[in-house]
Amino acid sequence: MKIGVLIGSITGNTENFAHVIMDELKQQDPTLTFEEYMINLEMNKKNSQADYKYPNCDAYLIGAYADFWTLPIFVRQYLESMPSENVKNKHILTFSTCGGNTGHMEYTFEKILLSFGAKIVANIQSKYPGSYMYLPTYSKKIKKQNVTDIPIKCAKFINAIKTGENDLIPKSQGLTYGLMNKLQWWALEMLF
């Protein structure tokens, strides 16, 4: 089973977090192989969208850092221009790292990927402090504290790939999340 790994990273934190998740997936199922693609700002500046490389794999691990409340624009452009047949009916595990507020990231991933017919299984968020963190200026050591959901969500992802079962109710379809999202944007508009 080949997993396409799409990583939007600039500092290396998100890339490192992706490798932690990949290691956990590999530990749970040694038969998995990974095809890794970096989505970065330089790629977006130099290449036209026609030059983007889009993997066509059995399932996907897709992640990026939070740019304020959402995906960085170059990651969003990459995902929005991805051929829908590459992800249609395929299981996806998304992840996000801090850099802003990771809370809206899950909704943004869902909005793009569900429109292509993808099946999002789970989302893993890395929040500082007390979770996975990579700071190149200090240390390359990754901390594993208070993030117990990685093995659980990786197991859920592997199970979904193998059985087709997925019990995730997308946040974008939940009443509470939709209402809170609208109130949050209304409050921001009132402030500015």
Q: Does position 57 have pLDDT exceeding 50, yes or no?
A: yes
The answer to whether 54 touches 83, Cβ cutoff 8 Å, is yes
Closest CA to 102 of 129, 73, 125: 125
Closest CA to 42 of 68, 4, 72: 72
Mean pLDDT, all residues of the chain: 77
Q: Which CATH number fits domain 2-191: 3.40.120.10, 3.40.50.360, 1.10.10.10, 3.90.1150.10?
A: 3.40.50.360
What integer pLDDT is reported at residue 122 of this predicted model?
87
Q: Does position 62 have pLDDT exceeding 70, yes or no?
A: yes
Q: What is the 3-state secondary structure (H, E, C) of 73-141?
A: HHHHHHHHCCCHHHHCCCEEEEEEECCCCHHHHHHHHHHHHHHCCCEEEEEEEECCCCCCCCECCCECC
Domain ranges in the chain?
Answer: 2-191
Q: Does position 168 have pLDDT exceeding 50, yes or no?
A: yes
